[in-house]
Amino acid sequence: MLGTVLRATGAYRIYENRLTAQVRKGKIPEHIAIILDGNRRWAQNRNYSVEAGHAYGADVVENLLDWCHDLGIRSITLYALSTENLKRSPEEVQELLKLIEERLRKLLTDDRIYRYRVRVKGIGKVEFLPESLLATLREVEAKTASFDGHYLNIGLAYGGRAEITDVVRSIAQDVKQGKIEPESIEEETIANRLYTAYLPNPEPDVIIRTSGEERMSGFLLWQSAYSELIFLDVYLPAFRKIDLLRAVRTYQKRQRRFGR
């Protein structure tokens, strides 16, 4: 309701501009990660269908590209679909996968992807995805593989424990084949095999979760060791640019010591 009133009076735009000016005076995070949460509860509160909630949330995600580009945030990692999400009702999973495929296909012709030179990559156990969705993802990845202006990582069938397990298996296989010695395994050995290793800044500066829930849900367990965590009491479909700006402002007020 407040957001509607602000927009209707023009006060929202004034507040957004003021926040933007404040944030631009501080250090802008190079990499943000967002746990996308709250679509179903937002829909239920409005007597909408679950599918409508997911669709409204997807619209917000599309706006994120512009918001982050405007602020100079180079990398975005989104937790869009966890391995646990795949255990929901078959009807909801089918609709959600269909929506994700539709939005990925839109990226193929989205002018911003090419104008901003956004490299798009799916991270997770993507082999679990339906063949059609996986084919669309691979097409988007191939068309943007040479871009290095911005990075958009989309967690699909993602689980942080599964990611680390895959890394352990990979290292164990190399040890078995005599490619590396156990004594030579260091933190960097693991970090270089994670899904985000290709990024110029693989560890998020800040991780945002929408919906009011305050947990990581297995998201980027290794990479988040020193990320600033910000939990917002707003469902994803209601997430606005000022919410992103407030999160960045909160990040800027914190002192990052990295354990020192």
pLDDT attached to residue 7: 54
Catalytic site residue from 37, 39, 153, 205:
37
Burial class (CB in 10 A: 0-12, 13-18, 19+), 153: buried
How do residues 48-79 score in pLDDT, each as one tens digit? Answer: 999 999 999 999 999 999 999 999 999 999 99
The answer to whether 85 is a known catalytic residue is: yes
The answer to whether 111 is a known catalytic residue is: no
Measured CA to CA, the distance from residue 167 to residue 3 in angstroms comes to 44
The number of folded domains in the chain is: 1
Helix or strand holding residue 118 (H, E): strand 118-123
CB contact at 8 A, 243 and 231: no
Which alpha helices (DSSP H) does the chain contain, by range? 2-9, 11-24, 39-45, 50-71, 90-107, 111-115, 131-144, 160-176, 187-191, 241-253
Measured CA to CA, the distance from residue 190 to residue 171 in angstroms comes to 8
Report field, pTM of the whole predicted structure over 0.95: no
CATH of the domain at 140: 3.40.1180.10
74 found inside a domain = yes
Burial code (b: 16+ CB inside 10 Å, e: under 16) for 155-190 equals bbbbbbebbbeebeeebeeeeeeeeeeeeeeeeeeb
50 found inside a domain = yes
Output the six-digit token pair for 4: 């509607």
Measured CA to CA, the distance from residue 211 to residue 10 in angstroms comes to 26
Cβ neighbours for 16, distance < 8 A, ≥ 6 positions apart:
241, 242, 245
Dihedral angle computed from the Cα positions of residues 151, 157, 160 and 164, in that order, rounded to the nearest 10 degrees: -90
pLDDT attached to residue 2: 45
72 found inside a domain = yes
170 found inside a domain = no
Phi, psi of 153 (to 5 degrees): -105, 130
Residue 217: domain span: 29-159+204-246
One digit per residue, the tens of pLDDT, for the chain of length 260 reads 444 445 556 888 899 999 999 999 999 999 999 999 999 999 999 999 999 999 999 999 999 999 999 999 999 999 999 988 988 999 999 999 999 999 999 999 999 999 999 999 999 999 999 999 999 999 999 999 999 999 999 999 999 999 999 999 999 999 999 999 999 999 999 999 999 999 999 999 999 999 999 999 999 999 999 999 999 999 999 999 999 999 999 999 998 777 66
195 found inside a domain = no
Catalytic site residue from 17, 45, 85, 243:
85
189 found inside a domain = no
